[in-house]
Amino acid sequence: MTAGAAKSAFGSTIPTANYSASAASENVFLPQSKPENGQNPMTFQEHNNRKNADKFAEYITGETLRRFVADTVRRFAGDHPSVLDGAAGSGQLEQFVQPSEFEAVEIQESACQALRQNYPHAAVSHTSFFLYRPQREMDCAIMNPPFSLKFKDLPDSEKLAVQQLFPWKKSGCLDDIFILKSLQQVRRFSFQVAFPGIAYRAAEARMRQTVGCRLAELWTVENAFEDTKINVLFIVIDKQKDTPEYRSGVYDCTAAQIVCEQRESLDEACNWPLPRRPVEAEAKMSEAAIDALNQAVLQSDIKRLENSLEWQLSLISLFGAAIDFLHMLAEIRRLCNQYEERFYAIKS
């Protein structure tokens, strides 16, 4: 897809609003300032409805992922950007972002109640993101939408809303639509937690091509959630980026550190190779492990030689076998002397 075509696909459907950084800074709402120990004293109301097996319910996002998201948002969008979250849950991902303005869309009423408690100044819309029609753009989108929600399971009104924006979408999962719709409704950045399948499934190829060179970072995140061990992707998209190079890596939330990272370049098909931990070329063994293995092999060889000598003597004793036993012993001594000399030569 050409840069122009991608730009058109990202074109906003929202009226332009007057906005300035200074005006935004005057309206910053913060959970509370952090004390010197770095912990945020905000009493955060979690919403986790997994017990009800609801397909829209959110997993509890670990604090380490929340901080990693906030640090990444800060690198790209600066401090306290205005934020749109189209699947906000209780606003877990925004906890450490501290947005200057927050438009939150959430389909569950119970999660909306937690949102209003956590972010009293947020504009909370109790509706589907596919039906949501914002009146102005935010600086960025931060989202962790439900994974692999099926198009066929949507109500007719939501199917129609999706196809009005993306006429080609007629089936499959909606992971791609969450991303593409978010890009149409923000000024520049989209930060997405997503199921890894969007990086390689054929059904999401059009989304990857539409994003194209605007892919800025692609992370595999390990141990991101408190109640599941699945790996997820964390995707950064910059609508003003136009080069194929992007940052790729693995982040481990348990260790709270980057495991590996590298620069990648998109191919013509705009495929997204999944970031993976590096595979060691050789297994490294400790000195003690090497010694133990060597001793085991040595004892096995000595026992095998002893059994062979015992067998030769048995044949001679029981059956009078014509075996030159002494010659065999002489050959063994010769080999032992030969390798003893080589050993001393190495040690000298």
List alpha helices for the chain, DSSP H: 3-9, 21-26, 63-77, 109-118, 156-165, 175-184, 205-211, 287-319, 325-347
Please give the Cα distance from 275 to 168 (Å, whole number): 29
pLDDT at 26: 33
Which CATH number is 3-265's, of 1.20.1300.10, 1.10.3720.10, 3.40.50.150, 3.40.50.10540?
3.40.50.150
pLDDT at 210: 96
Does position 2 have pLDDT exceeding 50, yes or no?
A: no
pLDDT at 250: 96
Q: Which residues contact 70 (CB under 8 A, 6 or more apart)?
A: 95, 96, 97, 98
Residue count (the chain): 348
* Cross-strand partners of 189: 140, 238
With pLDDT > 70 as the criterion, what percentage of the chain qualifies?
81
pLDDT bracket for residue 6 (50, 70, 90): low
Tell me: the pLDDT tens digits for 215-255?
A: 999 999 998 887 778 899 999 999 999 999 999 999 999 99
Cα 266 off chain centre by: 18
Q: Is the pTM of this model over 0.85?
A: no
Mean per-residue pLDDT over the chain, rounded: 84
Please give the Cα distance from 213 to 7 (Å, whole number): 11
pLDDT at 14: 52
Please give the Cα distance from 207 to 199 (Å, whole number): 10
With pLDDT > 90 as the criterion, what percentage of the chain qualifies?
65
pLDDT at 39: 38
Does position 303 have pLDDT exceeding 50, yes or no?
A: yes
**Range(s) of the chain covered by CATH 3.40.50.150:** 3-265
pLDDT bracket for residue 45 (50, 70, 90): low
Does position 257 have pLDDT exceeding 60, yes or no?
A: yes
Q: What is the mean pLDDT of residues 320-333?
A: 92
- Of the given ranges (67-71, 161-165, 190-194, 344-348), which has the lowest mean pLDDT? 344-348
Q: Is 194 exposed, middle or buried (0-12, 13-18, 19+ CB in 10 A)?
A: buried
Q: Among 233, 226, 162, 144, which residue's Cα sits nearest to residue 197?
A: 233
Q: Among 219, 223, 228, 222, which residue's Cα sits nearest to residue 199?
A: 219
Instruction: At 212, list the tokens.
Output: 């194209």
Does position 38 have pLDDT exceeding 60, yes or no?
A: no
Tell me: the pLDDT tens digits for 141-187?
A: 999 999 889 999 999 999 999 999 999 999 999 999 999 999 999 99
Q: What is the mean pLDDT of residues 313-327?
A: 91
Q: Are 174 and 153 in contact (CB under 8 A)?
A: no
Q: Between 106 and 10, whose confidence is greater?
A: 106
pLDDT at 151: 96
Instruction: At 346, list the tokens.
Output: 């190495």
pLDDT bracket for residue 290 (50, 70, 90): confident
pLDDT at 272: 96
Query: What is the helix (H) or strand (E) element at residue 85, kind and residue range?
Result: strand 83-85
Instruction: At 242, list the tokens.
Output: 């136009």
